[in-house]
């Protein structure tokens, strides 16, 4: 489930934002390229976090600093939303979002070197 959230968020942001005027988004590899801000062939935790901070801002359509379910219907299922909403108040704060995506990063970083390649 974690990786589904990660992939959905990347697809959402890459597909609607940064890439709109560029070539059509490629599959997984292309998404990682986009996160690789310094083009060293890997995505560090810092690069990933910066991307996700931007993702949060894009998803937060009304700019109130929290995500409600209607703001993320395109990227999260109701079940994924509940998983991310750790304290169950029906809103995903920046902190809850960051915690979720960084645990996604850790899950995707199979060899634990702090880089996704």
* Region binding Ca ion by CB under 5 A among candidate stretches 5-13, 14-22, 58-66, 106-114: 58-66
Q: CA-to-CA distance for 117 and 114, rounded, in angstroms?
A: 10
How deeply is 65 buried, as exposed, middle or buried, from its count of CB atoms within 10 A (0-12, 13-18, 19+)?
A: exposed
* Binding positions for Ca ion, 71-100, rule CB under 5 A: 85, 87, 89, 91
Is residue 38 within the footprint of Ca ion (CB under 5 A)? Answer: yes
3-state secondary structure of 68: strand
* Binding positions for Ca ion, 17-36, rule CB under 5 A: 36
**Binding region for Ca ion (CB under 5 A):** 36, 38, 40, 60, 62, 64, 85, 87, 89, 91
């Amino acid at each position: 489930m974690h990786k589904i959230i990660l992939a959905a968020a990347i697809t959402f942001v890459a597909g609607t934002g940064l890439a709109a005027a560029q070539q059509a988004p490629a599959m997984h590899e292309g998404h990682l390229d986009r996160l690789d801000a310094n083009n060293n062939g890997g995505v560090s935790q810092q690069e990933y976090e910066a991307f996700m901070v931007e993702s949060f801002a894009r998803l937060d359509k009304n700019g109130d600093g929290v995500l409600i379910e209607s703001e993320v219907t395109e990227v999260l299922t109701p079940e994924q939303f509940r998983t991310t909403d750790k304290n169950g108040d029906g809103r995903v704060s920046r902190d809850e979002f960051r915690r979720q995506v960084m645990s996604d990063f850790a899950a995707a970083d199979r060899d634990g070197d702090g880089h996704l390649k």
